[in-house]
Structure 1
């Protein structure tokens, strides 16, 4: 495959991106590049929510980018080219006829290929790379870790997903990892990775039309906050059954609901300041964004 090159100018912007595995489905890479950022300075990959608003999610991180010298990279999957949950959250893994698509077609490898394009453009070399996803992006991130492994991400947060793929081979994807030709070793690696479940304790609405409500999701709890606890409990139980470590962690963000802006600010503070800010600090704009 021909290597795509990305070399965004300093500042805030967006660049078209054609993924070699999906040449007929153009993406957009929303980015913010501080003037002082160098190839080995930190990188944050940000996965947007159901609104496909990578531009908003990039903007949520700009203040932290300037403060901590972060390159923000927000691969954006337009709904027209990647429709519904099947075309984004679920990674194009399950084809329209219910069969499992060829692994090379799964979307979960796309962010890593965006990073390779930035490396080819000389923008990054070997930086510490973290990935954050909120809502549908949180679904994307944890399924990416489950199916692709953790490379090249030193840290990962799945923030306020609507529901989860459980760490079991006994249930078919996306409820579990069954049918994907993954083995026990892949499951053990996922459990061992220090994935963070990032959960706003006010994300407890049960009548949100965008909250997944199929039977498999409802079995995980009535709302997103409850489902985060269900996921961690399930992981610990499975790890105990297998006799292996579970290094996942659930971090609660007090006073915050389904708010992508506030959760982004909380994630930046957790990673780069070692703290969760107060509710007053997290909601200066007072607007929740999915």
Structure 2
């Protein structure tokens, strides 16, 4: 019997040591070692499709980010700037192409950050959940939030291109829709004019009993200021197939609805109830696009009237 317990103890210690070693190695790789594409020289944005790479954080060179742009020939200072946030495929280059014609017609400068992560199939905290927390559950400083990276990119564009715009619009689809609505909730001071969250997979509800990303229990939030921002919850009438894309099926996610259309409606109605209960100013809208499903190109087209008007 003593031999059995000695063997069991050794097995436990060995297993725990391997787990600890992998955890430390994973943390160092994800959050300590520098990573990302090589920084490019600062220069003005070119006409047409262009790209540059900058440090994601203002006070650190630990992480870099590639930023795709599209600039029409007619665009000039004070014309609209639109950030376009990609989906879970992290394919900013595809999204920039989807906005070329829209940008030409409506004279928009398009900026599409690429939150590259080779482990994106296994982790979502670094992008659509805003990088508030590490994969291991520890809090990140606000200066390293993914939302702050957008603000940093805006400052870089203004500085290198002599742009004086005070605000930008932002559109996100699917995982990008998650990113956008959480940015409005958690960083209402961001210089967003109109935010459009399209076909998000699941939402952060104004529920203080649920932990983030399902609720707001463990995050600092100012709903009064968030509700003052212009947020459009853009839904596809046919986005009712949970088999399309990556669809979260945890118990808390399923409580929001069995598909994205239901979940978007739940999110909007829950916030309506909150603002009615407190008689707060509320500048959010909901818009359901007929005959459109989980299609980032068609949802991009449908977002234009909210941006230009």
Question: Is this a same-fold pair by TM over 0.5?
Answer: yes
Q: Which has the higher helix share?
A: 2
Secondary structure, counterpart of 2:264 in structure 1: helix
Task: Give the aligned partner of residue 19 of structure 1.
Answer: 56
State the structure with bigger RCO (CA 8 A, min sep 6), 1 or 2: 1
Contact 2:69 2:110 in 1 (8 A): yes
Task: Give the aligned partner of residue 41 of structure 1.
Answer: 79
Secondary structure, counterpart of 1:85 in structure 2: coil
How much has 1:209 moved relative to structure 2? 5.6
Secondary structure, counterpart of 2:247 in structure 1: coil
How much has 1:58 moved relative to structure 2? 1.0
Give me the whole-angstrom Cα distance separating, in 2, the residues matched to 1:178 and 1:126. Answer: 35
How much has 1:55 moved relative to structure 2? 0.9
5+ long unaligned stretches in structure 2: 1-40
Instruction: State which structure, 1 or 2, has the greater radius of gyration over its C-alpha atoms.
Output: 2
Task: Give the aligned partner of residue 277 of structure 1.
Answer: none
Do the aligned partners of residues 13 and 20 (structure 1) sit closer, same or farther apart at CA in structure 2, a change above 3 Å counting? same
Do the aligned partners of residues 18 and 154 (structure 1) sit closer, same or farther apart at CA in structure 2, a change above 3 Å counting? same
Deviation digits for residues 144-200 of structure 1 (CA, Å, limit 9, x no counterpart): 111111531110100000000012333211111221233xxx111112322100000
Deviation digits for residues 16-61 of structure 1 (CA, Å, limit 9, x no counterpart): 1221256333211011011221121111110000000111111111
1:106-121 aligned within 5 A = 106-121=145-160
Normalised by the length of structure 1, the TM-score is 0.86
5+ long unaligned stretches in structure 1: 275-290
Normalised by the length of structure 2, the TM-score is 0.81
Q: Given the alignment, which residue of 155, 172, 196 partners 1:133?
A: 172
1:138-287 aligned within 5 A = 138-182=177-221, 186-208=222-244, 210-272=246-308
Aligned pairs, number:
267
Secondary structure, counterpart of 1:142 in structure 2: helix
Deviation digits for residues 218-265 of structure 1 (CA, Å, limit 9, x no counterpart): 000000001111001100111122232332111011000000011111
How much has 1:100 moved relative to structure 2? 2.5
Query: CA RMSD of the aligned region, Å?
Result: 1.9
